[in-house]
Amino acid sequence: MNRAIAEKPINRPEPRRRPRTNRLAHLMPDLLEPTLRERGFASATLLAEWAEIVGPALAEFTVPLEVRWPRRRAEGEAAPRRTGRLQEKADGAVLVVTCASAFALDVQMASARILDAANRRLGFRAVTRLEIRQGAMPKPRAAFVEREIPAELVQAQKAGLADIANEELREALARMGAGIQLKTRKTGM
């Protein structure tokens, strides 16, 4: 009876192929969409192109926080009574920007230019007001700097990897091991 079981072919589903790797840039819109929608950003355009919208001088000291869209009126609900310039601005969204206190006046003076540039990116006159909030800006993270690894450390690591046939892999592993060794020397771990 055991032979009969052993001789029967087992119907196993074919293993699923793993999808090819994707670039992070292709995945980011899907990952960021829920958070952006909470903040009122219909798309990441304003965030991604912020430096172009405000210019390089203000980009370093300003960050868009949210877009506040006007409340939709129910059918038959009367529009609020406003006249002149207030009526013109009442129908659009408010772009909320935080900036370093020292640059609030610069942002206020550039507000018309910022609104025009933001609306050009959105494709229509969606944002009609700019709200400026003063606050401390987060410090930018330092860019990664690749440190030099002494060649003698790499060669010492390579000597222990002689059984690896692929030269590129051997070189990469030797550099990685030398980097770890260099780091542990500096930190004393």
- Domain chopping of the chain, boundaries: 32-70+86-134, 151-187
Look up residue 72 and give its DSSP letter: P
- Name, in order, each residue with C-beta under 8 angstroms of 24's C-beta and a sequence gap of 6 or more: none
What pLDDT was estimated at residue 84?
Answer: 53
**pTM value?**
0.51
Q: Which three-class secondary structure state does DSSP give residue 180?
A: helix
Pairing mode, strands 62-68 and 127-134? unpaired
Helices (H), 103-187: 104-109, 111-122, 151-159, 167-187
Q: At what angle do helices 151-159 and 167-187 cross, to 10 degrees?
A: 120
H/E stretch holding 48: helix 45-48
> Which top CATH class is 32-70+86-134?
alpha beta
- pLDDT > 70? residue 8: no
Distance CA 32, CA 48 (A): 12
pLDDT digits (tens, 9 = 90+) for 48-73: 788 888 888 888 888 888 888 777 66
Segment 171-188 shows an average pLDDT of 82
Overall average pLDDT of the 104-108 stretch:
91
- Report how far residue 114's alpha carbon sits from residue 88's, in angstroms, rounded to the nearest whole number: 18
Query: What mean pLDDT do residues 81-103 have?
Result: 71
With residue 82 as reference, give the H or E element that holds it: none
Q: What are 34's two structure tokens? A: 């829920």
Model confidence pLDDT, tens digit, residues 23-49? 666 666 667 667 766 666 666 677 778
Asked whether the beta carbons of 96 and 133 are under 8 A apart, the reply is yes
| pLDDT of 132 | 92
Q: How many CB atoms lie within 10 A of CB 69?
A: 13
pLDDT tens digits along 116-153: 998 888 777 888 899 999 988 766 666 667 778 888 88
Q: In percent, how much of the chain has pLDDT > 70?
A: 63
